[in-house]
Amino acid sequence: MSDFISFFAQSLPKLLDGLSTTLFLTFLSLILGFLLGISLALGRIYTPKIISWLCIGYIEIIRGTPLLVQLFILYFGLPSVGIRITPITAAVIGLSLNSGAYQAEYLRGSIQSIKSGQMIAARALGMTKTQAVVHVILPQALRISIPAWSNELIYLLKYTSIAYIIQVVELTAEGKFIAANTFRYLEIFTMIAIIYLSLTVLFTEIIDRIEHRIRIPGLGAKRTTLLRDA
Amino acid sequence: MHMLEVKNLHKRYGASEVLKGVSFTMDKGETKVIIGPSGTGKSTLLRCINQLHPPEKGQVFLEGVEITDPSVDINKIRQKIGFVFQDFNLFTHFNSLQNVSIGLEKVLKMEKEEAEKRAMHELKRVGLGKFAERYPAELSGGQQQRVGIARALAMDPIIILFDEPTSALDPELIGEVLEVMQSLAGEVTMLVVTHEMGFARNVADEIIFMEGGHIIESGSPKQMFTSPKHKRTGEFLGKIASLYGEE
């Protein structure tokens, strides 16, 4: 055990290096994916048929193909048409485009779960459709989509490890290097698994607190959590 | 010039024609009540007036302006037509005060402070000054509907359309909503679809009886209740009276 701890301490600086790349990829892709996702969801629901179809087409293509294949196309495929991007750029673009498609569907579900009376009441007041969406529909829909969004965050956190295949040195890739030098595969990947797990628990808890804080009074279930209430 | 003039309104949903040529007028300060069996186009008529459901044929004039003309900015028109819904449709993420002030802020572009002052005034008018901070899910149905009325009043509309405002309420909550509406009579022009015959008799200046997409007849409450011209009107009022124990 003490050996495991000293090996952990020894590997920690490298792992933290990798972790910072992992977190960078996760949050940047989550935010860019959110911006893309909200545009796609609104495009799918509120725009004329032709734009709506384009949004659906995009979502289906992205969700219907493996993330790995998408990353290969970006990183190995694009240079053959003269576009060269760094591994990290390819990873951010790939993960964002991918996450955007999934987030679009979460948001669409939330938006469509809002009772039609909300839109009708907003329009009856004299709001334009855009005002109704911004002031009435989205504030409710975004709250509803928080649990799905929390899911997307921990999904992204773990799936950034795929970027290792296009030579991004994130947490898993650092582990692979250390393991290749020391042959201590079991220990290093156990450490990495623990790091991922700690982060997912932490993120879930944070989002849970945010959800609780901005919940609509009188609506929604009481909070139950793994960790003790502060 | 009438405050509201509805001329030969037609509306169909798919194969079924819901409104088959409806015409009537309203003057300032009048309260008119529309009664009639379910599915005869009463709610559709209200939604055609504020163009939530645009009619296929016919015209609606508000203060002499044809609002069925496609070139008018319907958002500008709707600011002047209050609408109170059967199932309240309060914005669930806003408290009572915000529900009333949001239209003032976003549609009429009032300053937030001024809008909230005005909203508070309207909440007090419907007896809910103490409930400004409550969210819709924390209010009874009757309270929610009163917030709905305050929301409509705040915009200072030319007319308020009420679409069965008490139909979704428990019987003991109906009174508080009708009381508020009664207090507005004469001050605000109101067009009310309802099955509350007591309200119709006591408050309405005129009762309109609709059936099958037509106005069958209209007249003063006294005339409609005591000597309806049309056989169907008498039958309907008789049925309602025996159901609700009126007279």
Domain parsing of chain B, residue ranges: 1-23+38-78+198-228+243-247, 82-173+182-189
In this predicted structure, what is the pLDDT of residue A230? 42
Q: Report the pLDDT averaged over residues A5-30.
A: 92
What pairing do the DSSP bridges indicate for beta strands B31-35 and B206-211? parallel
What pairing do the DSSP bridges indicate for beta strands B65-66 and B57-62? antiparallel
- Computed over every residue of chain B, the mean pLDDT equals 93
| Three-class HEC string of A56-121 | HHHHHHHHCCCHHHHHHHHHHHHHHHCCCCCHHHHHHHHHHHHHHHHHHHHHHHHHHHCCHHHHHH
In this predicted structure, what is the pLDDT of residue A2? 78
Question: Residue B134: its chain A contacts at CB < 8 A?
Answer: 217
pLDDT tens track for A131-167:
999 999 999 999 999 999 999 999 999 999 999 999 9
Domains of chain A: total: 1
Return the amino acid letter for A218: G
Rounded to whole angstroms, the Cα distance separating B184 from B174 reads 16
Share of chain A above pLDDT 90, in %: 88
Please tell me the total number of residues recorded for chain A in this structure. 230
Interface of B with A in 80-109 (CB under 8 A): 81, 83, 85, 87, 89-93, 95, 102-103, 106-107
Whether the predicted pLDDT of B122 surpasses 50? yes
Whether the predicted pLDDT of A47 surpasses 80? yes
The burial of B170, by beta-carbon neighbours within 10 Å (0-12 exposed, 13-18 middle, 19 or more buried), is given as: exposed
Question: Which residue is closest to A132 within chain B, CA to CA?
Answer: B106
Would you list which residues of chain A are within 8 Å, Cβ to Cβ, of chain B? 115, 117-118, 120-128, 131, 135-136, 139-140, 143, 216-219
Rounded to whole angstroms, the Cα distance separating A100 from A112 reads 18
Q: Tell me the CATH class for B82-173+182-189.
A: alpha beta
| Structural domain boundaries, residue A156 | 10-174
Whether the predicted pLDDT of A46 surpasses 70? yes
Answer for the pair A63, A108: CB distance below 8 angstroms, yes or no.
Answer: no
Q: Supply the CATH number for residue A140's domain.
A: 1.10.3720.10
- Computed over every residue of chain A, the mean pLDDT equals 92
* A188 lies in some domain: no
Q: Is B206 helix (H, G, I), strand (E, B) or coil?
A: strand
| Interface with A, mutate which of B78, B93, B143, B147 (most A CBs under 10 A) | B93
In this predicted structure, what is the pLDDT of residue B242? 77
Question: Residue B95: its chain A contacts at CB < 8 A?
Answer: 217
pLDDT tens track for A77-89:
999 999 999 999 9
pLDDT tens track for B183-215:
999 999 999 999 999 999 999 999 999 999 999
- Rounded to two decimals, the ipTM of the complex is 0.93
Whether the predicted pLDDT of B99 surpasses 90? yes
Q: Report the pLDDT averaged over residues B2-20.
A: 93
A117–B85 CB contact, under 8 Å: yes
How many helices (H) and strands (E) would you count in chain A? 10, 0
Q: Which tokens belong to A177?
A: 């290097």
B78–A139 CB contact, under 8 Å: no
B50 touches chain A (CB under 8 A): yes
Which phi and psi (to 5°) does residue A145 adopt?
-85, 0
B106–A135 CB contact, under 8 Å: yes
Question: Residue B155: its chain A contacts at CB < 8 A?
Answer: 125-126
Residue B34 is given by DSSP the state E
* A184 lies in some domain: no
Segment (H or E) for A190: helix A185-213
Helix B171-184 and helix B141-154, axial crossing angle in degrees, nearest 10: 20
In 3D space, the residue among A129, A152, A155, A105 whose CA is nearest the CA of residue A46 turns out to be A129
Answer for the pair B160, B84: CB distance below 8 angstroms, yes or no.
Answer: yes
B107–A131 CB contact, under 8 Å: yes
Answer for the pair B163, B187: CB distance below 8 angstroms, yes or no.
Answer: no
Rounded to whole angstroms, the Cα distance separating A45 from A136 reads 15
Q: Which tokens belong to B198?
A: 């007591």
Segment (H or E) for B163: strand B159-163
* A200 lies in some domain: no
Where residue A123 falls among pLDDT bands split at 50, 70, 90?
A: very high
Question: Residue A216: its chain B contacts at CB < 8 A?
Answer: 92-93, 135, 137
How many helices (H) and strands (E) would you count in chain B? 9, 10
Q: Tell me the CATH class for B1-23+38-78+198-228+243-247.
A: alpha beta
pLDDT tens track for A137-146:
999 999 999 9
Whether the predicted pLDDT of B55 surpasses 60? yes
* A52 lies in some domain: yes
Whether the predicted pLDDT of B163 surpasses 60? yes
Radius of gyration of chain A (CA): 21
Whether the predicted pLDDT of A48 surpasses 80? yes
Question: Which residue is closest to B83 within chain A, CA to CA?
Answer: A124
Please tell me the total number of residues recorded for chain B in this structure. 247
Could you give the angle at the alpha carbon of B77 between the alpha carbons of B95 and B34, nearest 5°? 80
Question: Which residue is closest to A137 within chain B, CA to CA?
Answer: B91
Return the amino acid letter for A26: T
